[in-house]
A and B are shown apart, each in its own frame.
Chain A
Amino acid sequence: MKPNKLRLFCSLLFLLATVGMLSSCGKPKGGQKLSGSARDTTLVVAMLGDADYLNPVIGSSVTSANISGLIYPSLLQSEFDTSTGLLNYLALEKSLRPVTNAEGARSPRGALAKSWSMAPDHRSITYILRSDARWEDGKPIVAGDFKFAYRMYGNPVIASPRQQYLAELLGAEKGAVDFDRAIETPNDTTLVFRFYKPVPEHLALFHTSLTPLPGHVWKEVKPQEFRESRINMRPVGSGPYRLAGWSRQQEVTLSSNPSCVLPKPGNIRRIMFRVVPDYTVRLTQLQTGAVDVVENVKPEDFGAIRKANPAIEVRTVGLRVFDYVGWSNIDHDWYHKTGKIRPHPIFGSPAVRVALTHAIDRESIIDGYLGSYGTICNTDISPSLKWAYDDTIKPHGYDPALAAKMLEREGWIPGPDGIRQKDGRKFSFTLYTNAGNDRRNYACVVIQQNLREIGIDCRIEMQESNVFFENLQSRKLDAWMAGWSIGLEIDPLDVWGSDLDKSRFNFTGYRNPRIEQLSELAKSKMRIEDARPYWVEYQQILHRDQPVTFLYWIRETHGFNRRILGSVLNISGTFYNIDDWTLKPSANAVP
């Protein structure tokens, strides 16, 4: 070899070695060896971002909750009854309501509790636990594990996002839960929770069924080191899956847990959650079959996906998310300066807000963007919560003539430039929204057009999400477009409470004592169904006052590869029964 060629050869060799060395640095740790076609026995789910903690106490993202739910056991199984919109709770030998035999009904065998009994005064609930459940390391799951976990949930140093669940436990009324009295464990299979006030049974079940932690694994960890502990990277659970590997910001790999009896090892051998930050790429991967599930596929892409790969189907879940246009009901500047309330000069009158709703063509926004995946929204109670939803409310239809007449009645008369005026003030404002959301962008433009037609000047401004949220919170915006994702328990006081310092999400400044009264009355009912009349009146008031213009409910849509069998989606989540799913080519590959 000539020296020059030798040099070139050596350089190439060096380069390859460097790349090889660097590449192997990123090699996933802890992955299992696989034989045969790994893809046949692996379900791949694309996710937008990595899980934060695979620890039920501190995990805060939806991804974390989805994955933790597969690793950890749960006290009760919950199922969402789509015919009523009520949550049902199941223990091994007891259920809150009769079990539905509908598709996707949960097996109670996944529950740690054998049964429960609510005290007649509704001030305590006693669970009897099964004795055959074990953690992955072979240690039994005992009542003490729950007490231990609740101490962690309630520790202010750990700052669990779920500490609200402890709000009715003894001592919470004085600011700190008295764990010794609030949670008792007379023996390993008896668990008692005590409340400082009577709590309806469904709420008691909801709030006492937080996931336990293996006390023996965590007991040496100091609270201030809880978040940074290395144990977070190797969780000890007992669910249908266990953590097989976690390459941060790349993928989380779960493998079916053969020793699981809660209720059984997962059918699919491996589940891989891969981080794919870009939407277009997630979609392309779904089309090429590199991933099996992509959440939140946009309606405008359905056609292309189906055409590209007939093996892809679009699945929908219930209505949980809505967009709205918020109007400042009160003059926020005045409130910031003086602490006093006076109506907002433009949006302060309910009649003006109703007129605005009439002026906005919500149907055409839905037709133009969401198609059959959107439906008109009247209030913040979802049509999926059938037990509470008032279906007699007639939506404020698109009627610019009526809107103009209402505005004139309120004194807003068109000025020389065509823009309406009242007492020298123009009907002119800026509509703010967060940047990077195509749907809201589209809706904003339609709204701007609609309002211009009746002589209202609306400018649009997109803000970076953090900035937008901070402005919203500090009530600096007069008009904005945003959205809410509702919980399965109705609790609207954070959004509509009259005490503006306490109600952090009352961005509009809407104040109506009857709304608060109704919420309290509804929550005090020991049977949830008895609260319906209060929620019906609540919806009628919101519909009449239009503190915001509710735009549309969004049917969340997810892309699924048809090789997944047995999946049932509903409002409580895309991965509701993932441990029951199977994969077509390997449907018989159950371990």
Chain B
Amino acid sequence: MATYILRRLLIAVPLVFGVLTLTFFIIRLAPGDPAAFFIQPGISPNVAEQIRQQYGLNDPLPVQYVKWLGNVLHGDFGRSFSRAQQPVLDVISEALPVTMTIAVLTLVANFVFGIVIGVISAVRQNGFLDRFLTVTALFFYSMPEFWFALMMIILFALKLPLFPVSGLNEVGAESYGPFGFFLDRIWHLALPVTVLSINGAAGIARYVRGSMLEVVRQDYIRTARAKGLSERVVIMKHALRNAMLPVVTLMGSSLPFIFSGALFIEVIFAFPGMGRVTVEAIFARDYPLIIANTFVSGTLIVLGNLLADVLYAVVDPRIKL
């Protein structure tokens, strides 16, 4: 397995590199100008030119590419155009903890609720509970997240003021002490995580239900029942384990989500996470930041896929890598 992983990692290097090169050219060919903000009445026409000079955008494209390549090979992704010349890796490392907090909580909630609902639906197939859960899950699954988030805010923050509308902490939360600060943070995360996980859990529940239904029809389940095992043991030990196989691959593909952030949630709840960094960078034509983001998400997609494959082999001994 180690050689397999190593081989996949080696293949990943030119792949990610190719993605970056493509991104480099595509964003420079897109209409728009990073210095466009400085083209306005009252600002000297020289400013945009000076800014372009500073950003190195006046060089011919191949020269820009070679310079960029040299820097990237030294691990320097440059400084952000739109965020006060902060090194782009600093920008990303500031946004990552916020995104990861939400994503980790969401993923856990997703899988816990998704699996529980999926199992109940499968066990009570075609019963009232199954239909109720299926309809509810589909209802939430098909709801646009941003709209759902706004409705939750109106309901739970405006009409019933139980949760804060947005932000990561209350005004003055620094004085609550570390535990108070932490609780305040969790209180602020409750609504966004609920929105994200209701949507995600609904999808996972459908997966688990389908996979469970397939498994419970297998002979070994009949055998387990015939042995006289209690229904709980049959479902939880024998069926669920096998039904989890396809779900495990879902975990691998969730990895990029952990780092790329959920744009709508970040915009609506005013979290300074990766989703906003990426989209704002694109709107501002902040080339170095766009490339660094592509690097992060590209690498994670590759790693996520690798992880999914490896996990598959780990949980299913029939698969050899």
Residues of A at under 8 Å CB distance from B? Answer: 15, 18-20, 22-28, 31-35, 37-39, 42, 44, 49, 52-53, 60, 156-157, 159-164, 167, 227-228, 232, 247-250, 272, 274-278, 280-281, 284-285, 287-288, 290, 308, 465-467, 469-471, 473, 484, 487, 491, 494-495, 504-505
Assess the B174–A52 pair: CB atoms within 8 A. Answer: no
Assess the B269–A60 pair: CB atoms within 8 A. Answer: no
Q: Which of A32, A60, A156, A247 contacts B50 (CB 8 A)?
A: A156
- Report B228 CB to chain A, min CB distance, Å: 22
Q: Which of B18-59 contact A (CB under 8 A)?
A: 31-33, 36-39, 41-47, 50-51, 54
Q: Which of B150, B171, B277 contacts A272 (CB 8 A)?
A: B171
List the one stretch of B93-101, B216-224, B245-253, B307-315 in contact with chain A.
B93-101
Q: Which of B41, B94, B174 contacts A32 (CB 8 A)?
A: B174
How far, in whole Å, are A277 and B269 apart by their CA atoms in the complex?
8
Q: Given A277-B270, A288-B161, is A161 in contact with B79 using a C-beta cutoff of 8 Å?
A: no
Assess the A276–B166 pair: CB atoms within 8 A. Answer: yes
User: Which residue of A has the minimal Cβ distance to B90?
Assistant: A248
Assess the A467–B31 pair: CB atoms within 8 A. Answer: yes
How far, in whole Å, are A281 and B108 apart by their CA atoms in the complex?
27
By DSSP majority rule, is chain B's interface helix, strand, loop, or mixed?
A: helix
Assess the B50–A470 pair: CB atoms within 8 A. Answer: no
How far, in whole Å, are A32 and B173 apart by their CA atoms in the complex?
10
Q: Which of B121-158 contact A (CB under 8 A)?
A: 150, 153-154, 157-158
Is B267 at the interface (CB under 8 A from chain A)? yes
User: Which residue of B has the minimal Cβ distance to A251?
Assistant: B167
**Chain A residues whose C-beta falls within 8 Å of the C-beta of B267 in the assembled complex:** 277-278
**Chain B residues whose C-beta falls within 8 Å of the C-beta of A471 in the assembled complex:** 31
Assess the B98–A15 pair: CB atoms within 8 A. Answer: no
Which residue, of B47, B98, B154, B276, has the highest number of chain A Cβ atoms within 10 A?
Answer: B47
Residues of B at under 8 Å CB distance from A? Answer: 31-33, 36-39, 41-47, 50-51, 54, 79, 82-86, 91, 94-95, 97-98, 100-101, 104-105, 108, 150, 153-154, 157-158, 161, 164-172, 174-175, 178, 181-182, 185-186, 267-270, 272, 276-277, 280, 283, 285
**Chain B residues whose C-beta falls within 8 Å of the C-beta of A35 in the assembled complex:** 175
- Report B31 CB to chain A, min CB distance, Å: 5
Since A27-B174, A156-B46, A277-B276 are in contact, a sample of 5 more A-B pairs with Cβ atoms closer than 8 Å, ordered by chain A residue number, is A26-B101, A33-B175, A34-B172, A159-B51, A248-B94
Assess the B270–A276 pair: CB atoms within 8 A. Answer: yes
User: Which residue of A has the minimal Cβ distance to B179?
Assistant: A20
Q: Which of B33, B166, B283 contacts A281 (CB 8 A)?
A: B166
Q: Which 5 A-B pairs have the closest CB atoms?
A: A38-B172, A249-B272, A466-B32, A25-B97, A159-B50
Assess the B44–A60 pair: CB atoms within 8 A. Answer: no
User: Which residue of B has the minimal Cβ distance to A281?
Assistant: B166
How far, in whole Å, are A23 and B183 apart by their CA atoms in the complex?
10
Q: Given A164-B43, A281-B268, A487-B41, is A159 in contact with B54 using a C-beta cutoff of 8 Å?
A: yes
Assess the B47–A15 pair: CB atoms within 8 A. Answer: no
User: Which residue of A has the minimal Cβ distance to B161?
Assistant: A288
How far, in whole Å, are A275 and B269 apart by their CA atoms in the complex?
10
**Chain A residues whose C-beta falls within 8 Å of the C-beta of B82 in the assembled complex:** 52
**Chain A residues whose C-beta falls within 8 Å of the C-beta of B44 in the assembled complex:** 163-164, 167
Q: Given A161-B38, A288-B158, is A278 in contact with B182 using a C-beta cutoff of 8 Å?
A: no
Assess the A157–B276 pair: CB atoms within 8 A. Answer: no
Q: Given A42-B172, A281-B268, is A228 in contact with B182 using a C-beta cutoff of 8 Å?
A: no
Assess the A34–B174 pair: CB atoms within 8 A. Answer: yes
**Chain A residues whose C-beta falls within 8 Å of the C-beta of B86 in the assembled complex:** 228, 248
Assess the A39–B168 pair: CB atoms within 8 A. Answer: no
**Chain B residues whose C-beta falls within 8 Å of the C-beta of A272 in the assembled complex:** 171
Assess the A288–B270 pair: CB atoms within 8 A. Answer: no
**Chain B residues whose C-beta falls within 8 Å of the C-beta of A23 in the assembled complex:** 97, 101, 181-182, 185-186
Assess the A22–B174 pair: CB atoms within 8 A. Answer: no
- Report B133 CB to chain A, min CB distance, Å: 24
Q: Given A278-B270, A470-B31, is A28 in contact with B174 using a C-beta cutoff of 8 Å?
A: yes
Assess the A22–B178 pair: CB atoms within 8 A. Answer: no
How far, in whole Å, are A473 and B48 apart by their CA atoms in the complex?
13
Listed A/B pairs (26) with beta-carbon separation below 8 Å: A19-B186, A23-B181, A26-B168, A28-B169, A31-B174, A38-B175, A39-B172, A60-B37, A60-B38, A156-B46, A162-B43, A227-B85, A274-B270, A280-B150, A281-B268, A284-B165, A285-B166, A288-B157, A288-B165, A290-B166, A290-B167, A466-B32, A466-B36, A470-B31, A470-B33, A505-B41
